Structures are given as C-alpha cells and as structure tokens.
Homo-oligomer: A and B are copies of this chain.
Amino acid sequence: MNKVILLNKRPVGKPTLNDFKFIEEENPSIKDGEILLKTTYVSVDPYLRGRMSDAKSYVPPFQLNEPIQSGLIAEVSESKNPDYKVGDFVSGGLDWKEYQASTGIGLTKITDTTVRLSAYLGILGMTGLTAYLGLTEIGSPKKGETLVVSGAAGAVGSIVGQIGKLLGCRVIGLAGTDEKTAVLKSKFGFDEAINYKTTLDMKKAIQDAAPDGVDIYFDNVGGEISDAVLANINKFGRVAVCGAISLYNETEVQMGPRVQPILIKNSVLMQGFIVSNYAAKFPQAVQQLNNWLKEGKLTYSETLIEGFDQIPQAFINLFEGKNEGKMIVKI
C-alpha cells in the first residue's frame, strides 16, 4: 500500500499534527507515456502555510482531503516514457506520497550528479533561486553597501548573506539563538550577527552593527524585527519582502508602525518577492549558483529528518526555528 499525506483541516494559528491525515491507497500503476516515481527527498517550506489557508494568495490553496504538494526529489522506479529510464532522478512540485505516477511534465531531470541530490531542493532549487533573485532583482546590491538579512540562519537567509558577501556588501544577519548567530559568522561569513531574542533594543543593535545605515534589507520574517531594521534604513534603501514567517500563523491582522513615513523620508523601495515571477531568469541563476558552489564560494546547511511519517512534524518545526538551513525529509 502507498502512503499519502492529506490536508485534514485548515490550520488555525500554528499548524498541528491534527491538521494532517495519513492514508494508504493502492499502489499506483502507470500508463504509456508515464513514469512511476519513488519519493526520496521532501522539501518543507514556510510558504506552504499560506497554501493551507483558503485566503486568496499567489498560489491556489490546498484542498481539504487532497494530498499536500511541495518540492520533491524522486527516483524513476518504472518507466513507460522514452525520455526517462529507471534510476533517473527528477525534481519538481509533487504530492506527499511515497509513490506517484507522472507524465514528466513540469519536472526537471537531474543530470549533474556531482552535487548532493538534496541540493536541488535547496541551494540549486527554489531556495537558492529565491535568495539570488530576491537579492539581485529587488535589492540591487552594490559594492560597499550594507545588507541586513532576517531569518539569516534559515535556508534562504544563509544563502542571501553569502551572495551579499560575494557581491561586496557588508552583511549583518539576524537570528534567534546564539548557536545560529555563531554559525552565521563562522560558517557563512557574515560580518555581524545579532540574536534578536536576547537583544533588548534591536534598533540600537542594528545601528551599532551598521554604523553607515542599512542599504538593503532582505526580509524573511516581518514583524518587530523588520520595524527595527526599517528604523535604520538609508536614503534609496531597498527592501525585498521575501517572507513574513513571524506573521504566517497569526489569526488576526497584525498591527505595526506605519511604513509610509519611512518610505517617503528616505525614498525607500519595498517590494514583495515571489520567485515564480522570475522564471525566465532561473537557468542563468542556477548556473551562477552552481558555479559558485563548485568554486567552493557557497556553502549550505541542511536539517535532515528521516522518514515519510515525519513530514508534517518537520514542517511544524519550521515555525519553532528548529532548523538550521534547509529543512528536508529523507524518505
């Protein structure tokens, strides 16, 4: 029997295991032109929280009692499609199932096997693309500028910081534990790192770490942390709003200081970033990321959890900051 994870109910606030339902179905069979895929790695990401609500958003919501989907790496275990042979690996947006049939449409065959397979869910997948394109397309970093990254120890944030350094910026990371801030400096080369949970006056701490002010803010979290960064933004500053993990589980609209006066005073640009809007730039971006990776200029962290049954818990853990870097479930 084939294990499948469905959306049981729409989370209210923080997701719980009750929001998911495990079922077993007949093992899928394939028709001519199809391939049978065996899931090997599952990406769990904060943005999935949005798809679990039925609010209008940039991607359609998951349906109740239907499988949840995310980025997967899968192995071709049977093929009736001449483009694929057994043993090939693919990446793509697929169902949370142990096995599933596919025509191959929308999937990417993994041809370069000199990098870890799971990297295609992370630094060479949506995570790396979000970091690279969010930073370059909205942040427009220039040499000598100061970049602040929130959620800096997360999958996207840790890559953003490294790319910022490669492009000549002074980089300051914000994270929620001393272990994370230590790793930001020792492993990822951030110039400064601030633990927002133990720092009483974040506005002052950012001012101290960024004495010339903040030119670019790559925002993964939203909320009060972002208020403190915006209070230090420079004239012509750019804010790439890539995530708001601090707000995803809120059941009411969150209030905060109005940003309009800051935007006017400093001619600041603030823009929401969705990686899928930049699909035309993916090939060039993956190439750049792969080059840096092979030159040893980029490193990445993964938090690997094992077992199909652990997927919902791995997802829930994201909102407790339990991951360092990309959260991946190995099947």
Residues of A within 8 A of B (CB): 50, 56-58, 219, 222-223, 226, 235-236, 241-244, 247, 253-274, 277
Partner of A257, one of B235, B236, B255, B274: B255
CB distance from A261 to the nearest CB of B (A): 5
Partner of A264, one of B236, B260, B274: B274
B244 x A264 contact (CB < 8 A): yes
A-B contact pairs, 26 of them (CB 8 A): A58-B264, A58-B265, A58-B267, A219-B260, A241-B260, A242-B264, A243-B264, A244-B260, A244-B261, A244-B264, A247-B258, A247-B261, A253-B257, A254-B257, A255-B256, A256-B257, A259-B259, A262-B272, A263-B272, A264-B272, A264-B273, A267-B271, A267-B274, A268-B271, A268-B272, A269-B272
Q: How many copies, total?
A: 2
Partner of A258, one of B50, B236, B256, B267: B256
A269 x B267 contact (CB < 8 A): no
Known: A269-B269, A272-B267. A261 touches B222 (CB 8 A): yes
Query: Hey, which chain B residues are within 8 Å of A254, CB to CB?
Result: 257-258
Which residue of B has the minimal Cβ distance to A50?
Answer: B265
B235 x A264 contact (CB < 8 A): no
CA distance A242 to B267 in the complex (A): 9
CA distance A274 to B267 in the complex (A): 6
Which residue of B has the minimal Cβ distance to A58?
Answer: B265
Query: Hey, which chain B residues are within 8 Å of A236, CB to CB?
Result: 277
B267 x A277 contact (CB < 8 A): yes
Partner of A247, one of B260, B269, B272: B260
CB distance from A133 to the nearest CB of B (A): 12
CB distance from A232 to the nearest CB of B (A): 11
CB distance from A171 to the nearest CB of B (A): 21
CA distance A106 to B312 in the complex (A): 65
Query: Hey, which chain B residues are within 8 Å of A241, CB to CB?
Result: 260, 263-264
Query: Hey, which chain B residues are within 8 Å of A58, CB to CB?
Result: 235, 264-267
Query: Hey, which chain B residues are within 8 Å of A263, CB to CB?
Result: 241, 270-272
Which residue of B has the minimal Cβ distance to A277?
Answer: B267
CA distance A262 to B254 in the complex (A): 12
CA distance A236 to B278 in the complex (A): 12
B271 x A226 contact (CB < 8 A): no
Which residue of B has the minimal Cβ distance to A226?
Answer: B260
Which residue of B has the minimal Cβ distance to A238?
Answer: B271
CA distance A110 to B313 in the complex (A): 71
Query: Hey, which chain B residues are within 8 Å of A266, CB to CB?
Result: 58, 272
CB distance from A325 to the nearest CB of B (A): 22
CA distance A58 to B264 in the complex (A): 8
Query: Hey, which chain B residues are within 8 Å of A260, CB to CB?
Result: 219, 222, 226, 241, 244, 247, 272
Partner of A273, one of B235, B267, B270: B267
Query: Hey, which chain B residues are within 8 Å of A219, CB to CB?
Result: 260
CA distance A170 to B269 in the complex (A): 25
Query: Hey, which chain B residues are within 8 Å of A272, CB to CB?
Result: 260, 262-269
